[in-house]
Amino acid sequence: MVDAAVRPTKSPTVEATSPAIDVPLVNDLLLGTWADIRRQAREMLKDSAFWRQDGLGMDEHRERVLSQLHLLVENKAVHRAFPKSLGGEEDNGGNISGFEELVVADPSLQIKSGVQWGLFGSAVLQLGTAEHHEKWLPGIMDLSIPGAFAMTEIGHGSDVAAVGTTATYDPETEEFVIHTPFRGATKEYLGNAGLHGVAATVFAQLITNGVNHGVHCFYVPLRGDDGVDLPGIGREDDGLKGGLNGIDNGRLSFDHVRIPRTNLLNKYGDVAADGTYTSAIDSPGRRFFTMLGTLVQGRVSLDGAASWASALGLHIAITYATQRRQFDGVDGHEVVLMDYGKHQRRLLPRLATTYAQIFAHDEFLQKFDGVFSGRTDTPADREDLETLAAALKPLSTWHALDTLQEAREACGGAGFMFENRLVGLRADLDIYVTFEGDNNVLLQLVGKRLLGDYAKQFTGKDAASLAKFAVGMTAGKLFHGAGLRQFGQSVADFGQVSRSVENGLREEQQHELLAERVQQMIADVAGRLRPGAKDKELGARLFNENQAELIEAARAHGELLQWEAFTDAVHRVDDAQTKAVLTWLRDLFGLQLIEKHLAWHLMNGRLSMQRAQAVSSYIDRLCARLRPHALDLVAAFGYEPEHVRAPIASGAEQARQDEARAYYADLAASGDAPIPEKALREAKKR
């Protein structure tokens, strides 16, 4: 929390009766379901041994992060998701919550630990059986078996089903032969592969008795006890990257590497000694998606980590903006940056979005925990979980890059100094938008799910119903009902439009606008795709032509989920003043989404021209209304100095400003202050 001694005075335009938020209450709300575990993790991370040291070269940074992983083991911070029988806690939601907090120490530490325990270890846990768990999980948990997660290939990233690596079964020796048949099938960008990994979970096409049964996962040793790579293992170091240089990313290739038949992680598909393949899931496609679905936690954790990285960036930028002064104000004193309307516009809508994302993430995490604990593990729940992951991870990771860049610029030259965290965080989080699924590909998956759900509305309908639907589509009213009238947008007195926005675009209307936009966009895309339903070639062409709009609809769906989660959080608050401020912040989030898509709302008749013109001015009013609460709202993130570690957010800037103001005050009082040339000229004119 920002120390009261360095807080600036409130803007002179702020009303004295402005409500105050209950910071601890909001902190509890933001930390969410696993607040205790988050606080425990943050307490651990006050130890400087976990902090990134900016001056380290790549090699030193890698070794420091590896040593930090051993510290995590010592602190029992990595075992929460593993079986109780092996010393774990079987707490999936708590595991992700604690893991996400590592981003404030060093994103390289967060991601390398995610590779070890969230990907490599999780593959063994989720895709293997008891035999595999007992054999390998203890070593994975205590880091005596550091490993890589070998899924992505140079030639195939998001399209995992098409990977080129093969695992061909040899019944004579009861072994699988792991092979990289061409350069594009080389496994790439793998954490722990460049240097530290001694084993890997390798995704390859399982071929037995001349039949390819699709992608399965295999446990493949990389090094012998002597520390030397085993025969047939090809290893290359990716070297210096654009960020996350504490991780030894690298490439792996396999030249007819033989592994025992039992190294197939066979929870969803098995091969008998004679080469017979069996699976409880008949459909190869469903089997593939079931296996990949068990590894969704990577996307879950990236959504949370990106949201909290945005929170840290805003803590730094907003704290600095309430202390740094620039240009004379009406009272003769320089104005703090946060009192400028443009500065509020730059940071406060992003603060509102970050709140929305954190609230949405906690609901997402509850869904994840329910599925992975078995409490709500049904095919429908897993499908919902995968859709949530594909909808939310893109929004939070894109938002993190945008927010950290804007925060950097908002802090001027000070923001460009590495010691102030913003440029380092921005560089490290850059890759978040493409790993664990490229954001646009993920949103396309969401769009397809929305199209599928939309189509189900008309299953079994008769010709008359479909004809009525077609008329509705032509009229553009399928989801819109009474149109503009229900919002009361005929405003006779244009001078009252701004107030009308405040009264007429509150919670219910915001939700309606956001929800109807998703529904109408999906309806429009579905209508354009319909002619290709029975013509595969035409269908592919039409889908490609409408791909961009489908992805935009999926993005709008994710934004709607975030708005709803924010609203749910507001409804849980009993303190009247806190609720009022959080409602303003939620309104800011909703209205800036509407502002971003004003052209769509106008073209589709959702807003009148007068109402649309007034949205932006009302956003400005909300920013001014939230200005006096900015410090409290970032204090509610709960970061302490050991987490922030940015000199410009430490109170040092306030001390400099106070020193300067005291200097000029003393100089003026002494009578020795030089006369400004402009004042002298004006005196001569008189």
**Per-residue model confidence as pLDDT tens digits over 582-636:** 999 999 999 999 999 999 999 988 888 888 888 999 999 999 999 999 999 999 9
Encoded tokens for 246: 């504490």
Indicate which CATH number applies to the domain containing 164.
Answer: 2.40.110.10
Give the CATH number for residue 551.
1.20.140.10
Confidence of residue 3 (pLDDT cuts 50, 70, 90): very low
> For strand 211-221 and strand 325-328, is the pairing parallel, antiparallel, or unpaired?
unpaired
Residues 361-415: tens digit of each pLDDT: 999 999 999 999 999 888 888 889 999 999 999 999 999 999 999 999 999 999 9
Model-level pTM? 0.91
Give ∠ CA 627-630-631 in degrees, rounded to 5.
135
- The total number of residues shown for the chain amounts to 686
With 80 as the cut, is the pLDDT of residue 13 above it?
Answer: no
- Cβ neighbours for 541, distance < 8 A, ≥ 6 positions apart: 532
The pLDDT of residue 8 is 36
Q: Does 198 map to a domain?
A: yes
pLDDT for the residue numbered 502: 57
Number of H helices, E strands in the chain: 26, 13
pLDDT at 681: 83
Say if 469 falls within a structural domain: yes
User: 261: domain range?
Assistant: 151-269
Ranking 299-308, 418-427, 510-519 by mean pLDDT, the lowest is: 510-519
| 3-class DSSP state of 217 | strand
Task: Quote the pLDDT of residue 4.
Answer: 35
User: In this predicted model, what pLDDT tens digit does every residue of 536-594 receive, in sequence order?
Assistant: 899 899 989 999 999 999 999 999 999 999 999 999 999 999 999 999 999 999 999 99
Per-residue pLDDT for 485 more than 90? Answer: no
Per-residue pLDDT tens over the stretch 671-685:
888 988 888 888 888
Q: What is the predicted pLDDT for the residue at 159? A: 84
User: Mean pLDDT across the chain, nearest whole number?
Assistant: 89
Whether the predicted pLDDT of 482 surpasses 80: no
Query: Whole-angstrom Cα distance, residue 296 to residue 534?
Result: 33
Distance CA 419, CA 330 (A): 34
Per-residue pLDDT of 137-172, as tens digits, reads 999 999 999 999 999 999 988 788 999 999 999 999
Tens of pLDDT, residue by residue over 326-371, are: 887 776 678 898 999 899 999 999 999 999 999 999 999 999 999 9
Looking at per-residue confidence, does 34 or 467 come out higher?
A: 34
Q: What is the pLDDT of residue 157?
A: 80
What is the percent of the chain where pLDDT is above 70? 90
Write the DSSP symbol of residue 187: E
Of 583, 599, 630, the one marking the end of a domain is: 630
CA–CA separation, 499 and 512 (whole Å): 19
Of 269, 292, 314, the domain-final residue: 269
Q: How far apart, in whole angstroms, are the C-alpha atoms of residue 588 and residue 621?
A: 10
Whether 167 maps to a domain, the answer reads yes
pLDDT at 198: 98
Identity at 478, one-letter amino acid code: L
Which residues, in sequence order, are CB contacts of 550 under 8 Å at separation 6+?
444, 447, 448, 451, 525, 543
Residue in the block written with tokens 């093969």 = 166
- Quick check: 191 and 247 in contact, CB under 8 A? yes
The residue type of 219 is Y
* Lowest model confidence (mean pLDDT) among 108-112, 286-290, 463-467: 463-467
Domain boundary among 225, 243, 269: 269
Rounded to the nearest angstrom, the gap between the alpha carbon of residue 447 and the centroid of all alpha carbons in its chain is 18
Contact 246, 52 (CB under 8 A): yes
Confidence of residue 9 (pLDDT cuts 50, 70, 90): very low
Average pLDDT over residues 261-273: 97
pLDDT, position 364: 94
Instruction: Evaluate if residue 2 carries a pLDDT over 60.
Output: no
Model pLDDT, residue 676? 85
Rounded CA Rg of the chain: 28
pLDDT in tens, 14-24: 444 578 999 99
* Number of independent structural domains in the chain: 2
At 332 the pLDDT is: 67
Strands 211-221 and 199-208: antiparallel
Least confident of 187-196, 342-351, 452-461: 452-461
Q: Which of 573, 576, 90 is nearest to 373 (CA)?
A: 90
pLDDT > 70? residue 496: no
User: Does position 182 have pLDDT exceeding 60, yes or no?
Assistant: yes
What is residue 46's predicted lDDT score, i.e. its pLDDT? 97
CA-based nearest residue to 11, from 439, 234, 336, 443 = 336
More confident residue, 182 or 294: 182
Residue owning tokens 């998956």: 445
pLDDT of residue 465: 60
In a domain, 359, yes or no: no
Nearest partner of 183 among 258, 255, 257, 259, judged by Cα: 255
Answer whether 199's CB lies under 8 Å from 222's CB: yes
pLDDT-based confidence at residue 461 (cuts at 50, 70, 90): low
Q: Are 407 and 649 in contact (CB under 8 A)?
A: no
Least confident of 54-63, 200-209, 490-499: 490-499
209 inside domain: yes
Q: Which amino acid is at 268?
A: Y
Q: What is residue 400's predicted lDDT score, i.e. its pLDDT?
A: 98
Nearest Cα residue to 97 out of 49, 51, 42: 42
- Specify if 420 maps to a domain: no
